[in-house]
Structure 1
Amino acid sequence: MNRNLVFTIVGAVVLIAALLLGVSLWRSNYVKVEEEVEEPRSGEAASNPLYILKLALRNDKVKVDARQRLALALHPLQPRDTVLIYRDPRTLSKADADALLGWVERGGHLIVRTPPLRDKLGESPVPVLDTLGLTLLDADDSSPQDQRNDCVGLYERGLEQQSMFCNARRFYYYNSDVEPDYAWGDEDEAYVYARFPRGKGSVDVLADMDFLSNRGNANPLLSAFSFGTDEIAAPANAAFARQLLAPNYRAGTIHLIYAAEVPSLWKTLIFNSWMAWLPLLLWLLGWLWQRTQRFGPLRPAPALERRSLLEHIVASGEHIYRYGYGAILYEAARRAFLLRLRRRDPYAAAQQGQEQVALLVERYKQDPTLGAAAIGDALTQPLTRDHAAFRTRIATLIRMRNRL
């Protein structure tokens, strides 16, 4: 049997055995595991910050209506309803604010918040809150070290403290006509929550409502950093939300008025499309690094290539003369002159020595620089390395040739 055929068969057997061994080891150590991965939120779940609260209320058999606008004409309020305005109260018109307070007096329950602390209020009116006689802290009323900028701890039995109302706009109610049924805070640190009775109903005022929101992100890139928890999912926040909605709970419809939080295009691209732009960014950085000049001393830009035929001829002549072949250049110039002289004046070209010089002097008598001495020297080969004589005789031969 051919030796090469034997080696081929043995190699194939060894390769197949190695493959079977690898597959066997992989199958013996392979464990099938199921893993749930949350997809990015879309639709109302992404734009409605109260979406989880809405689902929780529906699961608890509570009538709930979540919308972006108050629209009292399209959604009339009943005496035992609850209206939670998650939006900035400054977005309410005076007519809507008066209608809401009139509805509260008939038994409604209104929940509002103060404007965000980052905005400077000045003397601008704040509907509902001005009617209640509340005094709101402005952005420049307290320093960063002031206790009125600290968080407030919410305690739930058996659980750790939950921080709330951090950097929120607090308020005072010393100008209010009525005392609140419940208040959270004191005169030194201001108040973060109060429930004011009004007629048959009540108005709840909070420094912010972030604890009610489904803030978070289900992006797999950020899940490892624990950025995906919702505020309302915290047990203490859920318990406080239940107490907040207690007055008319299950007695009527709870209206959740929110401002749609549509993420910007750049935020969507950064959080949800990182699998595409991250490799492209790395490729771009690599390409820029490749195109960037390396570190080191500055070097002058290389001279551009020249394609002039005359420059090549001059460079070739200088090279030949530099290496001691000036006699060849002189002889070429003298031969070129004699060739043209033979075509123009065959008789003078046939002469030699002084007879030829005399004929040429007669021919160039109009040029005083071409005398007998200059013409005689031009027709005589110069000494080696006599640069001045070489240049002079070459120039004279060229001038004599051009005048023929």
Structure 2
Amino acid sequence: MTRTIWAILALLLILVLGGSGYYLYRHATPYQELVDHGPSPEALANPYLAAEMFLRERGLKVEHANSLEALADLPPKGHSLLMLEERSNMSPQQADRVLDWARAGGHLVFVAQALWDEDTEQSGDLLLDRVQIHQMLSEDLEEPPEPEAGDAYPKLTKVHVDGEQAPAYVSFDTAFHLDDPDSLAQSWASSGAATHLIQLEYGKGSVTVLTDADIWKTPAIGRYDNAWLLWYLNVDTTVTLLFNTDHPSLWQLLWKNFPQALVALGLLIGLWLWQAAARHGPLLEPPPKARRQLLEHLRASADFILRHGGQGPLLHALQVDIRRRARRRHPGFEQLQPEAQWEVLALLSQQPVSAIRQALQPLAGQRLSSTDFSHQVAHLQTLRNAL
């Protein structure tokens, strides 16, 4: 291609690119798009992350604890301990330690996690039973709380504060109710269906019982006055969030996640112990590992045929094998007369015709002596091996 053609192509390319750029400049409109990548790993690992951030923004110090060992270094006065997660592994000694800490001046906040059983007169929730508060289903209440006159939000829990005309509204789960049979509560908060928060003095400290803590998880903490209630209960204190009262043991985790495998393992161990256990009476000797050789099998088979069929089948089998080998060496062997066959076999085996005649003669019903039978078999084998 000449330089002129290259120049024309370059000019056309510049014109196309320039025209495209001008078109995009006149018609393209820049915009911003917000892409939601979902919760961060920290938020997924900690459902109360937003609650912690809210408290820190209000000037409160927030700490974490993964076991009750933290109580040893946690002074009661000026501290709040929030137990909002599962604590079914808590022992009676641990429950006493927590309540002793509250009695010494700390503020304990926990969620009721079991229903009151009238028959056993306990719920199984160690903390709830010790502070003598009962939890039950709202639908089982004989006399539910009377709704306030003109209440526009009967499903929301109303928290009244001294000096405030309007209550704060909190979205507790209305399916559960807290009962104070001994009238120990200093304050409480109820919806139109049930009571969901009870606060009572406990020695030098205080205890707050809730029906649920989902109001402080994401995104519920941003609704109504849920976040305000968290701040109001813990104002002027250092907050410690206790996520686990005790880590389950390895066996507990295995039983929780792999119960079938553990049952199967137990059965296998039981069967092994039964098989290895001592038996009554002598043990049977194991069968010998030695096996007969091939020659022994052949001899045993020949003895069986000799006993049940006589000498004829054995000799006939050798004679048939000789004729089969002769047909391979000499095509048309089976059409020859017996004398001619004997001559062919003599030629192929380099043996005299008389020996071949004697070897191939049928027994005609007579029984040979052991010596003669052995000689006959030897002649036939020698003839067969020569072919």
Normalising by structure 2, report the TM-score: 0.48
